[in-house]
Amino acid sequence: MNESRLPSPRNRAKNIRLAAVGIEFFSTILGLLVLGYVLDSYFLTTPWLGAAGLALGMVIGVYRLIVGLRQVDR
C-alpha cells in the first residue's frame, strides 16, 4: 500500500473521535427508546413512555452531538 495514501496520525485520531461522537449520538437515542419501551411494558402505558424516551433521547443525543463536534473541532 502506498504510504502517501494513509491518513496521518492526527487525522486518524480525529476520525476516531468523530466515530465516537456518532456512536454516542445513536446509542443515546436507542438506549432511551429501549428504556421507554421496557417501562411501557412494566407500567402498561404503551406507547407513551416509549415516545417520551425517543423524544428525550433525540434531545440529549443532539445536545451531545453538538458538544462532541465542538470538542473535535478544537
* pLDDT given at position 65: 96
Q: How far is CA 28 from the centre of its chain?
A: 5
Q: Is residue 2 part of a domain?
A: no
Q: Is residue 27 part of a domain?
A: yes
Q: pTM for this one?
A: 0.84
Nearest by Cα to 63 from 19, 14, 28: 28
Predicted confidence (pLDDT) at residue 1 exceeds the cutoff of 60: no
Q: What is the mean pLDDT of the chain?
A: 92
What residues make up the domain containing 52? 11-73
Classify 71 in phi/psi space as left (phi over 0), alpha (psi -120 to 50) or beta.
alpha
Q: Is residue 5 part of a domain?
A: no
Predicted confidence (pLDDT) at residue 8 exceeds the cutoff of 90: no
- How many domains would you assign to the chain? 1
* pLDDT given at position 74: 81
